[in-house]
Amino acid sequence: MTGQHDRTAIEAVAVGELPADPGPDRRDDPAWRLATAFVLSRRSRHTQRAYACDIRDFYSWCARTGVDPMRARRVHIDAYAHSLGQPQPRTGRPAAESTIARRLSTLAGLYAYGVAEEILDRSPLTGVVRPLVGQDSTSTGLDRDEVGRLLAAAATDGARAHALISLLAHNGLRVDEALSRDVEHLQTERGHQVLRLRRKGGHTATAPLAPPVLHALDVYLAGRTSGPLFSTRTGRRVDEPAAWRLIRRLARRAGLPQADRINPHSLRHTFVTAALDAGVALRDVQDGAGHSDPRTTRKYDRSRHNLDRHPSYAVSSFYATGQAAAAADRDSS
């Protein structure tokens, strides 16, 4: 737990976010230290927060059931997964299959990290069966008219709101990718106005900016050349909770029927779906969205179940062409 992560950084991520309070000196608690090290090994602040939330939920369950997270076995993980399938205290509903799968995936990463660092001798996630998540995205996307209404509401709200919504809608960025950028990351490359990105996993990428986005950013920045790309009135960087509140508020103002379910990822979903509907090649959409696996991109393709595009028609045409060619050869011989 020493080295690149100082105590202040560890506390900033872990205090109040990771396990239920194990006692007055949490730095001596092995489970807390393992969780903190694992969370801080992720570069994305969004990923750190998501992992911290998942681990906190598991550690809280361990505290209630008397399980030491450092001594957990497969039977305990199975029991935890079963508990998630029961009505949850906050919602009164069972956790979604996707939520259970995500939390087990986080725990698999946590314990694999512990094994790799020789903190643990084995992972209790070995052999645990995770729920199969459907092939379609469960997030809420918008159609073309709804995007226009949301952009209009953002323009009415102010220049910063319009610039942020324009960037998310036209480029499909993860919200942390947009909010982590500085004005200095706006650059020019081979005649294109671009935004330099740091993608999930620490990868760098370049996003070209379409004219509507450039115009919205120019109006918002008003000549500013440094500092956070999206900043508050006091000059601090806009954070993700503020972006969530803004988008939800704009969705209500735009009168969108699903306003209470719209969030920053909805605009990313919309970007991918719109690109596929516009006929952009899957691999190009995958690159634009920063997906490492094309199957992730495919989840957003609303037309992939269109029977008009079923390969059986193309195969039948291929067979017919071959049969016609064979018949022509026989007739000419």
Taking the domains of the chain in order of start, what are their residue ranges?
7-116, 144-298
- Model confidence at 313, pLDDT cuts 50, 70, 90, reads low
Which of 129-133, 134-138, 198-202, 327-331 comes out lowest in average pLDDT?
134-138
pLDDT, the chain, mean: 82
**Does the model's pTM come out above 0.95?**
no
pLDDT tens digits for range 46-60: 778 888 999 999 999
- Residue 270: predicted pLDDT: 86
Report the C-alpha gap between 260 and 299 in whole angstroms.
22
- Which of 198 and 329 is assigned the larger pLDDT? 198
Whether residue 229 contacts residue 186, with contact meaning beta carbons closer than 8 Å, is answered with yes
What's 95's DSSP letter?
P
Looking at per-residue pLDDT, the higher value among 4 and 138 belongs to 138
d(CA 248, CA 257): 12
- Whether the pLDDT of residue 67 is over 90: the answer is yes
**Mean pLDDT for the stretch of residues 265-283:** 82
Residue 250 has pLDDT above 80, yes or no: yes
Indicate the range of 5-19, 54-68, 80-94, 304-318 predicted with least confidence.
Answer: 5-19
CATH topology for the 144-298 domain? hpI Integrase; Chain A (1.10.443)
Per-residue pLDDT for 221 more than 90? Answer: yes
Q: Are the C-beta atoms of 280 and 150 separated by less than 8 Å?
A: no
Query: By the 8 A CB rule, do 176 and 240 touch?
Result: yes
User: Residue 5 phi/psi, 5° resolution?
Assistant: -105, 110
Q: What is the pLDDT of residue 1?
A: 37
For 148-192, write each residue's pLDDT tens digit.
Answer: 999 999 999 999 999 999 999 998 888 999 999 999 999 999 889
pLDDT tens-digit profile of 85-118?
999 888 888 988 888 988 999 999 999 999 999 9
Q: Look at residue 112 in the predicted model and tell me its pLDDT.
A: 94
